[in-house]
């Protein structure tokens, strides 16, 4: 049993597709200008009206792990990444049109 066979599950794709954007938003916050607190940073984003831009920026790396899983022939895991990316896209549309 290869290592790729062990992690070729939809749940591992869902988990990685959810955690990578969360990690990216953490780094965006960590390296933001002015060292604001989390509350100040979220208020700045809300005032600027760039919530959807930030979410989209953070979800973009899912394309890379989707392509990596696809290249490694981990099709179930890539299906999970694609599924959670669609969920993220629905969240972006919801924030854009309803907030």
> Contacts by 38-42 with C-beta closer than 8 Å and gap 24+?
none
Q: Does residue 98 have a pLDDT over 90?
A: no
| DSSP letter (8 states) at residue 15 | H
Give the count of alpha carbons within 13 A of 71, CB side only: 6
DSSP state of 49: T
Please tell me the predicted confidence (pLDDT) of residue 1.
67
Task: For 8-52, write each residue's pLDDT tens digit.
Answer: 999 999 999 999 999 999 999 999 888 899 999 999 999 999 999
53-88 pLDDT, tens digit per residue, is 999 999 999 999 999 999 999 999 999 999 999 999
Q: Is residue 4 part of a domain?
A: no
The answer to the question of residue 6 being in a domain is no
Segments forming the whole domain that contains residue 50: 13-98
Q: Is residue 2 part of a domain?
A: no
pLDDT for res 87: 95
Measured CA to CA, the distance from residue 56 to residue 89 in angstroms comes to 8
This prediction's pTM: 0.86
Q: Quick one: tokens of 4?
A: 């790729």
């Amino acid at each position: 049993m290869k290592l790729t066979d062990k992690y070729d599950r939809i749940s591992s794709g869902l988990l990685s597709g959810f955690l990578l954007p969360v990690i990216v938003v953490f780094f965006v916050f960590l390296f933001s200008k002015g060292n604001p607190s989390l509350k100040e940073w979220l208020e700045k984003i809300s005032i600027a009206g760039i919530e959807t831009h930030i979410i989209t920026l953070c979800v973009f790396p899912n394309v890379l792990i989707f392509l990596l899983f696809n290249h490694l022939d981990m099709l179930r895991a890539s299906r999970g990444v694609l599924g959670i990316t669609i969920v993220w896209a629905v969240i972006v549309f919801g924030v854009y049109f309803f907030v």
